[in-house]
Amino acid sequence: MKTTTRLMAVFLLACSTLALALDLDSAKSQGLVGEQPNGFLGVVNPTPDAVQLAADINAKRRAAYEAIAKKNGATIDQVAVLAGQKAIDKAAPGAYVKTPDGQWVKK
């Protein structure tokens, strides 16, 4: 995948969460949601608010991944996995991230 594609993925990932930044940050800091290797937000503690937040964020992420994939001749999965790794790398200490074997761990 091209470097510009990677940069676009990171940029769009950041943009997709700006509108909900406080809610997302709060949910992450409370251990309700976490980043996954597949590029989508996962629910660690399934409260109704956490489930709705994850669904909203993931819909925006999917749309961004589709646009990037289409523009660059990549698959959605390729873009999503790259974005997922970037999100896990950027996750704050103490935030939950999902390991490749499916376990939630605190970073």
Please provide the DSSP assignment of 35-104 as one string.
E-TTSSEEESS--HHHHHHHHHHHHHHHHHHHHHHHHHT--HHHHHHHHHHHHHHHPPTT-EEE-TTS-E
Q: What is the pTM of this model?
A: 0.79
Domain that holds residue 8: 3-106
Residue-level pLDDT, tens digit, the chain, 107 residues: 565 556 555 555 554 444 444 589 999 999 999 999 999 999 999 999 999 999 999 999 999 999 999 999 999 999 999 999 999 999 999 999 999 999 999 99
Number of independent structural domains in the chain: 1
pLDDT at 19: 46
Nearest 10 degrees: CA dihedral of 80, 68, 52, 36?
10
